[in-house]
Amino acid sequence: MDRLAKCSANYVPLTPLTFFKRAATSYPNRPSIIYERVHFTWSQTYDRCRRLAFSLRSLNISKNDVVSVLAQNIPATYEMHFAVPMAGAVLNTINSRLDAKNVAIILRHSQAKVFFVDCQCVPLARDALRLLVADGGARDLPLVVVIDDIDTPTGIRLGELEYEQLIQQGDSNFEHVEVTDEWDPIALNYTSGTTSAPKGVVYSHRGAYLSTLSLVLGWEMGSEPVYLWTLPMFHCNGWTFTWGVAARGGTNVCLRSPTAPEIYRSIALHRVTHMCCAPIIFNVLLEAGCAAAAPLSSPVHILTGGAPPPAALLQKVEALGFHVTHAYGLTEATGPALLCEWQSQWNMLPPEDRARMKARQGISVVSVADVDVKDPTTMASVAHDGRTMGEIVLRGSGIMKGYYKDEKATVEAFKGGWFQTGDVGVIHPDGYLEIKDRSKDVIISGGENISSVEVEGVLFRHPRVLEAAVVAMPHPHWGESPCAFVALKPNPSGGGDVTEAEIISFCRKNLPHFMAPRKVEFLRELPKTSTGKIQKFQLRAIAQKFVVSEKISVPSKKLPAPAPHTPHMDSSWPRHPLILASSRL
């Protein structure tokens, strides 16, 4: 048997381009993209992408060149997910909510050859390009192509080239550049920058192909889905659903801004079946005063992740008719790596317990070969007891090739033959994994680890809490203690506001006392990254300045006694091994 050789009949490099060609030939007349009054079929989308790929080659784009795009969820962003690799190049989608400085950093680091700019992002792109020039990079400026709005052209330009013009000038018979090695790069995505400067994560054709298939399977996405683009395509290529919708011959409903009225209008108008979003969008869906937020006429499947979804919010959004699946992942894992796969026996549970089960991050998707939670010092697997914390590690073909131009960080991330996520979790006796924190966010109070996620879960159960984040605050006796930052919902009865004492007492009723925040700071809105994650490093900087008086911190009877060796807070306070070992430091 070992003499049977690989050949082009039985060994074809894995690439998401296969899904695209298949969609164009198997479903030529099915709708591929809907955006306002613009509708395309799969054969038209294929035709447009071939033309664009041809034009890119005519602009001297060759294998492994980086093509960047700064755009919202418009048809062009979707098309580039195929046209750029069809030209043999690497797609770099840039977060359109970044500032000019960060866009410039990405353009410089990625050495983009062509820079596609959505007409709405022209001012941002112009500032970023100016920064590049000011920084002495005039010679390496990318070629700029503006993407005018395809439904309502604006005439806005930045330089000579325009997207539709490249499509018209292209050749619809262009045979795309063959993928000869599935390990070749297909995409370069920068991380959100929640914990450190954004890192350039490189995906292979093989990783993208396998991750796409395993998510389509894990989410049980059937044929002809109508997929609403509420998740930015720039976020891990829309968690691979840019390629996944093609694999199912589905319809992409493009949306510039995911506001509550726009989302509900699209759901009703196009009979949306699927959408992905960060948990922060749940607040949008539940937005008070949105008349459209009535129960849905048919269920819409939501895949949520990117941050822990509080159980209380899951329960409310499901009550509207959304069927939520919870996923956990990272840019480095090509989007979701774990899914909270639902078990039919949980249907019997009361709604609150069902939401609690769903708030766990779950089990691996099929392209992940292995997932574990390990003690970071010994690398031994933790007990499956739902209590012992360790670092979540992953192995599998969906894991990135590595960090672009950062060998040191790549080696560090793959230390010990596993990808170190920098997230702290536990494994429950049923094998489901639950995130307790990012290693940087764990609060160590009197030698006890406090999961900020757990405290936040309780805060979200308070009827007036809209947003909540818990970080460490210095404590003279316990080293650190939890400090909560909260944004409140408007008071429906118009009465007075909730007080700090009320929130603390609510937490003490629902948590062991040592976990309850010692201080609550009210903010109008919590600071977030451009992907909607709360920027805890900013809150931590504020909390560092808070002074907890000994009086408040006098241990109650229920507080655990400090370990005999526990030093009082000073600059040499020993960090927990989880923090020392984090690859994200």
Ligand X SMILES: Nc1ncnc2c1ncn2[C@@H]1O[C@H](COP(=O)(O)OP(=O)(O)OP(=O)(O)O)[C@@H](O)[C@H]1O
**Site residues (vs ligand X, CB under 6 A):** 191-196, 198, 305-308, 326, 328-331, 361, 421-423, 435, 438, 531, 533
Distance CA 97, CA 262 (A): 19
Provide the minimum distance between the beta carbon of 453 and ligand X in the complex, in angstroms, as a whole number: 7
Distance CA 311, CA 509 (A): 18
Per-residue three-class SS string for 412-476 = HHCHHHCEEEEEEEEECCCCCEEEEEEHHHCEEECCEEECHHHHHHHHCCCCCEEEEEEEEEEEC
Distance CA 492, CA 477 (A): 40
Distance CA 26, CA 74 (A): 24
> How far is C-alpha 185 from the chain's CA centre?
20
Nearer to ligand X, 249 or 306 (CB): 306
Nearer to ligand X, 83 or 534 (CB): 534
Name beta bridge partners: 481: 473
Nearer to ligand X, 423 or 480 (CB): 423
DSSP assignment string, 75-144 = HHHHHHHHHHHHTT-EEEEEPTTS-HHHHHHHHHHHT-SEEEEEGGGHHHHHHHHHHHHHTT-GGGPPEE
Provide the minimum distance between the beta carbon of 561 and ligand X in the complex, in angstroms, as a whole number: 32
Distance CA 71, CA 119 (A): 8
Provide the minimum distance between the beta carbon of 400 and ligand X in the complex, in angstroms, as a whole number: 10
Provide the minimum distance between the beta carbon of 235 and ligand X in the complex, in angstroms, as a whole number: 7
- In 3D space, the residue among 214, 452, 232 whose CA is nearest the CA of residue 333 turns out to be 214
Token duo for residue 357: 């089960």
Nearer to ligand X, 85 or 310 (CB): 310
Nearer to ligand X, 435 or 444 (CB): 435
Nearer to ligand X, 147 or 307 (CB): 307
Nearer to ligand X, 48 or 536 (CB): 536
Provide the minimum distance between the beta carbon of 133 and ligand X in the complex, in angstroms, as a whole number: 27
Distance CA 399, CA 208 (A): 9
Cα–Cα distances in Å, from 234 out to 64, 202, 334?
19, 14, 12
Give residue for tokens 């030529």: 28
Provide the minimum distance between the beta carbon of 362 and ligand X in the complex, in angstroms, as a whole number: 9
Nearer to ligand X, 258 or 479 (CB): 258
Give residue for tokens 């919902």: 489
Name beta bridge partners: 31: 41
Nearer to ligand X, 53 or 337 (CB): 337
DSSP assignment string, 507-556 = HHHHS-GGGS-SEEEE-SS--B-TTS-B-HHHHHHHHTT----HHHHSPP
Provide the minimum distance between the beta carbon of 306 and ligand X in the complex, in angstroms, as a whole number: 5
Provide the minimum distance between the beta carbon of 457 and ligand X in the complex, in angstroms, as a whole number: 11
Nearer to ligand X, 198 or 225 (CB): 198
Provide the minimum distance between the beta carbon of 107 and ligand X in the complex, in angstroms, as a whole number: 18
- In 3D space, the residue among 235, 88, 69, 234 whose CA is nearest the CA of residue 143 turns out to be 69
Provide the minimum distance between the beta carbon of 193 and ligand X in the complex, in angstroms, as a whole number: 4
